Amino acid sequence: MRIERARGTRDFLPKEMRKRRIMEERMRSVAERWGYEEIRTPTFERSELFTLKSGEGIEMYEFRDKGGRHLALRPELTAPVIRMYINELKMTPKPTKWYYFGNCFRYEEPQKARYREFWQFGTEIIGSDSPEAQAELIALAFNILKSLGVKAELHVGHVGLIRERLRIANVDGVQINTVMRLIDKGERQAVIELMDDMGVKGERLDDLLFLLDLKGKDALKEARDRNIIASDSDALKELELLLELLDYYGVDYTLNLGIARGLDYYTGMVFEIYEAGGMLGAQNQICGGGSYRLAALFGGDDIPLTGFAFGFDRLAEIFSVDDKDLERRGVVVVPIREKNADLDVLKEAIEIASMLREFVPTHIDLMNRSLSAQLKYANARHDSFAVLVGKNELGEGKLTLRNLDTGEQEKISVEDCVARLKAYFDLN
Ligand code: HAM
């Protein structure tokens, strides 16, 4: 019986895994150099961790375990990270700066660059949502993108301004989240209809729509001119300082006051990064984040938080790497022996393979095959060298080193062979 993969999931073959490892290592390396430390949380959690705030707008994979506990596969990592912080480490010096890399699960309609199992690489600053913290995080995100050679566009907004507009229009707390999610999905008509149902009309509705459309350099000025943001508003001052700091970091941005984000926990500045080359189609958002509050909800002090997460799979789709870097060429040690005999030859081959495995991927025959079959296998795998270990040469303490690219071969001692290969693979 042929069994298919579950819908929305993927298999990764060795070449793809090598590419993903290269990406992961570069991303980790940047995060570490910016002073962030790696953490990991469980793949599944108590459902309420997400239903309290972060999973509301997301269809989750939920189930009951045999003890009747209501659990969910994590749809994102921010809520688990804050839960962990409150449970384990409340006393760490602030700000605490963490990063993570892990799989997430969302029951979404699969399409290009949208999966039911996908990976996020993210960071959280625990203890600050200052413009300094926000600017550092955005600059970090851009440094990570630079390390991957990915060109992208940054949009910065502020959900506090939209929420305030909705409060002024007397939209209640629960409804605000519903409206925010519609805004996030770009469903403008549905926003208008819902507001209409709630009796929000005329100037109040116009002001909201005006705010959502504000984009570009003059957005803050236009908002001020129309009295949508008071000149002494904290949000405004915060945004202005953030933009100035982004200039210092050399990060380009577009101010976009219509960004709402799909998760309910954001309270202040929010940002999204889109792939600029048109390779991802509709799902071109490669990173999202902002300032939020979650700690009090999980039983901690109401500390300020700021974070972001990259969609790792989307980055993998646009990341390009030289095919040469994805090749993993190695050595095959070939014991030449009669089938099921000459164990001394096999023993010597294993010893040589062990020495080579200190520095290069090394294969040894596992199928009791003939010399020609072993060489065919080495060629098919694109190995660089074959080390032929034969009974006669063994007596002389020698073996044959064959370059599989050129076909050249020579009889040399075991020590010379190991030294020669070490020098070659240190260079290549
Ligand atoms: P998010 O925007 O829901 O934010 O997800 C972050 C990124 O994950 C998205 O920008 C997108 O690239 C990727 N992503 C989301 N859903 C899928 C999917 N179905 N398939 C492939 N990629 C996907 C968060 O999750 C927040 N926790 C980010 C954050 C951290 N905010 C503060 N700290």
Instruction: Please write the tens of the pLDDT for every residue from 168-202.
Output: 888 888 888 889 989 998 899 999 998 888 888 88
pTM of the predicted model, to two decimals? 0.93
Question: Can you tell me which atom of ligand 1 is nearest the CA of 75?
Answer: 25
- Residues 6+ positions from 123 with CB-CB distance below 8 Å: 31, 36, 97, 98, 99, 100, 137, 140, 307, 308, 309
Question: Ligand 1: which residue has its CA nearest to atom 30?
Answer: 308
Question: Can you tell me which atom of ligand 1 is nearest the CA of 54?
Answer: 27
Please give the pLDDT value at position 254. 97
Please give the pLDDT value at position 56. 65
**Least confident range of 278-282, 355-359, 382-386:** 278-282
For residue 122, the CA-to-ligand 1 centroid distance in Å is 9
Please give the pLDDT value at position 54. 61
Please give the pLDDT value at position 400. 97
Label residue 62 by pLDDT band (50, 70, 90).
Answer: very high
Q: Are 268 and 160 in contact (CB under 8 A)?
A: yes
Please give the pLDDT value at position 155. 97
Please give the pLDDT value at position 93. 87
Task: Go through 217-241 and write b for each residue having 16 or more CB atoms within 10 A of its CB, e for each that does not.
Answer: eebbebbeeeebbeeebebbebbee
Question: Can you tell me which atom of ligand 1 is nearest the CA of 309?
Answer: 28
Separation between Cα atoms, residue 238 and residue 199, nearest integer Å: 32
pLDDT cut 90: percent of the chain above it: 74
- Please state the rounded mean pLDDT for residues 249-278: 94
Label residue 55 by pLDDT band (50, 70, 90).
Answer: low
Ligand 1 pocket test: pick from 118, 136, 145, 265 the residue with the most ligand atoms within 8 Å of its Cβ.
Answer: 118
Is the CATH number of domain 329-427 3.40.640.10? no
Label residue 401 by pLDDT band (50, 70, 90).
Answer: very high
For residue 260, the CA-to-ligand 1 centroid distance in Å is 14
Average pLDDT value for the chain: 93
Please give the pLDDT value at position 327. 80
Question: Ligand 1: which residue has its CA nearest to atom 22?
Answer: 311
Separation between Cα atoms, residue 371 and residue 392, nearest integer Å: 15
Q: How many residues does the chain have?
A: 428
Ligand 1 pocket test: pick from 100, 263, 315 the residue with the most ligand atoms within 8 Å of its Cβ.
Answer: 263
Q: Are 356 and 331 in contact (CB under 8 A)?
A: yes
Please give the pLDDT value at position 314. 97
CATH, domain 14-318, list 2.60.40.10, 3.40.190.80, 3.20.190.10, 3.30.930.10: 3.30.930.10
- Please state the rounded mean pLDDT for residues 344-365: 96
Nearest to 83 by CA among 120, 121, 52, 114: 52
Domains 14-318 and 329-427 share a fold: no
Question: Can you tell me which atom of ligand 1 is nearest the CA of 273?
Answer: 10
pLDDT tens per residue across span 289-338? 999 999 999 999 999 999 999 999 999 999 999 887 788 789 999 999 99
Question: Ligand 1: which residue has its CA nearest to atom 29?
Answer: 308
Element (H, E) at 44: strand 44-46
Report domain extents, the chain.
Answer: 14-318, 329-427
Q: Quick count: other Cβ atoms within 10 Å of Cβ 63?
A: 12
Residues with CB under 6 A from ligand 1: 76, 78, 106, 108, 113-115, 118, 120, 122, 124, 262-263, 285-289, 292, 307-309, 311, 313-314
pLDDT tens per residue across span 129-177? 999 999 999 999 999 999 999 999 999 999 999 998 898 888 888 888 8
Separation between Cα atoms, residue 55 and residue 330, nearest integer Å: 46
